[in-house]
Amino acid sequence: MISVQDVSKAYGPKKLFEDVNVAFSPGNRYGLTGPNGAGKTTFMKILSGDEEADSGAVLKPRKVGVLRQDQFRYEDNRVLDVVLMGNVPLWAAMTEKEGLLAKPEINDDDGHRLAELEATIGEEDGYSAEADAAELLQGLGIEEPWHDQPMRALAGGYKLRVLLAQALFGKPQALLLDEPTNNLDIDSIRWLEGFLHAFEGVLITISHDRHFLNAICTHIADIDYESIIVYPGSYDEMVRQKGQMRSRVESENEEKKKKIEQLREFVARFHAGTRASQVQSRVRAMQKLKLEDMKRSNIAAPFIKFEQKALSGKQTLEIQGIAKAYGGNEVVQPFSALVTRGEKVCVIGRNGVGKSTLVKMIAGELPPDQGHVKWGHQAQVGYLPQDQTGVIRPGTTAFAWLRELEDKLTNEEISGLLGRMLFSGEERMKPTTTLSGGETVRLLFSKLMLFKDNVLVLDEPTNHLDLQSIAALSDGLQRYEGTVIVVTHDQELIREVGSRIWALHRGEEILDFPGSFDEFVEKHPDLAAAHV
């Protein structure tokens, strides 16, 4: 069990949570939710011991597996060794044993110590440790040839997979996982889901993947109202319960207000008359009718509404045999397609198969090696790149940047647009160099909403967004009447938005499927597992 007792945390005047008392029980799997800035990562660091609370205490088991997003920490270490480090007592014993055996002479004390170390290694299943670590790595998509390589040989996304294997290794009694599905394809996510379902300890995870939370969570620990409230069930069930609870409290408070007003009128009318006993009775009744405290929720969702200035031609996009290779490696095989007005195309595939390359060629950001892209009549394209470095000019503010893009709007109109994207008050004057990842994406959405293009090409638009913003994006894309081409790993977004699927797989032609994601999964279940 992990027990949190009277824990509070604030940064200056901003209070994240106050006097939190919550227990996380073995066998339960908790999703830690809340909007960006609510304190999810801070709370996880308090649980892991990486950060101190302002007050209170945390009681936890001896062996806790922690996923930290510090993928460049182990550059010179062997991949397999990084996983073994997840079992701290075992790794310490193995390292000390190796040092003792490297001595030119071993004395009696060394011999006794070696015996103790051998006992520790045996207790920690050290003799099968490398095989167990290799099994974890393979489950997460890192094949055996990489196991003896240094961490620097892996791409950043695969380094995070190694750190996830490290957290899972060594039979921990509790797991603290911060965004464990980042950079995982669907095969690895399904393997992880199976592992976590079988895990018997305490699991607490932060994730912006609704599908993952719904698939694994038995409870949701939601940070809101300066506290942490635990709801039984999945993320979707928590959203329903939370809404129902707040609606109930608001309704009860309204009824109490009406009753209090009626009592107050009676007291005011007869306080000087002969009905003193009845007046006192009404006063006591008013004192009992206390309104339930309604702290202001810190959850806020942006209002994303994409519109079009003008319609594109019916044949919006014609792709004729475009292909791309790097150094003899064919990243995108020759691909042709015709996209008509209003289609919602979801581009899916594992990391590194060429999805971003494909949409860069479509958006005109990258020339194809062969073939060409032809846009239809009056097609106006809005593009959101995956790498947003340099897209927003530094040395200005969010407000001033939008003002530069469109000087015909009034200050009130720009402020209103920024407000709908959660830039309120002074945040509109925030320097662009200090924007967080989520703020950067929301500001770029503001630009797309401002320009009202009739085609949107979006490359991993859910990166850096919290769950409320992802849901708002999904709603905005569903309502949008223009054409969409979107690269995403978010299965719920694909399911809710997509009317056509382009599935990429290394070394194969792009599969162009005319239908929804559910139809794609039904018709090609094996391909779906291999492509998302």
Residue 22 is given by DSSP the state: E
- Looking at the chain, the whole-number percentage of residues with pLDDT higher than 70 is 95
Residue 223: enclosing H or E segment and its boundaries? strand 219-224
Name the residue type at position 178. Answer: D
Write out 416-439 in H/E/C secondary structure. HHHHHCCCCHHHHHCEHHHCCHHH
How confident is the model over 160-169, as a mean pLDDT? 90
The token pair at 519 is 């139809």
Q: What is the pLDDT of residue 246?
A: 63
Q: What is the pLDDT of residue 322?
A: 96
Name the band, by pLDDT with cuts 50, 70 and 90, for residue 273.
low
pLDDT at 354 over 70: yes
pLDDT at 527 over 80: no
pLDDT at 282 over 80: no
DSSP string, 323-382: EEEETTEEEEEEEEEEEETT-EEEEE--TTSSHHHHHHHHHTSS--SEEEEEE-TT--EE
How confident is the model over 443-450, as a mean pLDDT? 95
Contact 419, 395 (CB under 8 A): no
pLDDT at 145 over 70: yes
The token pair at 211 is 């599908």
**Which of 300, 316, 460 is CA-nearest to residue 383?**
460
pTM over 0.85, yes/no: no
- Looking at the chain, the whole-number percentage of residues with pLDDT higher than 90 is 53
DSSP-based helix, strand, coil % in the chain, nearest 5: 45, 20, 35
Distance separating the N- and C-terminal Cα atoms of the chain = 35
pLDDT at 292 over 90: no
pLDDT at 72 over 90: no
Contact 210, 492 (CB under 8 A): yes
User: Do the strands 370-375 and 455-459 form a parallel or antiparallel pair, or are they unpaired?
Assistant: unpaired
Name the band, by pLDDT with cuts 50, 70 and 90, for residue 321.
very high
The 10s digit of each residue's pLDDT in 362-375 is: 999 999 999 999 99
How confident is the model over 43-69, as a mean pLDDT? 91
Q: What is the pLDDT of residue 352?
A: 79
How confident is the model over 416-441, as a mean pLDDT? 87
Radius of gyration of the chain, Cα coordinates, nearest whole angstrom: 28
Name the band, by pLDDT with cuts 50, 70 and 90, for residue 250.
low
pLDDT at 529 over 70: no
The token pair at 380 is 């106006």
pLDDT at 56 over 90: yes
Residue 319: enclosing H or E segment and its boundaries? strand 315-326
How confident is the model over 18-26, as a mean pLDDT? 92
Least confident of 264-273, 318-327, 494-503: 264-273
Q: What is the pLDDT of residue 526?
A: 67
Residue in the structure block whose two tokens are 């405290």: 293
CA distances from 518 to 43, 172, 181, 459, 493 (A): 36, 36, 21, 21, 12
Q: What is the pLDDT of residue 396?
A: 92
The token pair at 51 is 């950060």
The 10s digit of each residue's pLDDT in 191-245 is: 889 889 999 999 999 988 888 999 999 999 998 877 888 999 998 888 888 777 6
Backbone torsions φ then ψ of 67, nearest 5 degrees: -95, 115
The set of residues, in sequence order, having a beta carbon less than 8 Å from that of 360 and lying 6+ positions away, is 366, 385, 459
What mean pLDDT, rounded, does the chain reach?
Answer: 88
**Which of 136, 35, 5 is CA-nearest to residue 79?**
136
Please state, in angstroms and rounded to a whole number, the distance separating the CA atoms of residues 367 and 357. Answer: 10
Least confident of 427-436, 454-463, 522-531: 522-531
Least confident of 22-26, 248-252, 392-396: 248-252
Cα torsion through 477, 479, 483, 489, rounded to 10: 20
The 10s digit of each residue's pLDDT in 456-515 is: 999 999 988 888 889 899 999 999 999 999 999 888 899 999 999 999 988 889 999 999
Residue 294 is given by DSSP the state: -
pLDDT at 517 over 90: yes
pLDDT at 247 over 70: no
Please state, in angstroms and rounded to a whole number, the distance separating the CA atoms of residues 342 and 314. Answer: 9
How confident is the model over 423-433, as a mean pLDDT? 85
Sign of CA dihedral 176, 180, 186, 187: negative
The token pair at 252 is 């009860």
- Say which residue, 278 or 316, is predicted with more confidence: 316
Cα torsion through 442, 445, 450, 454, rounded to 10: -170
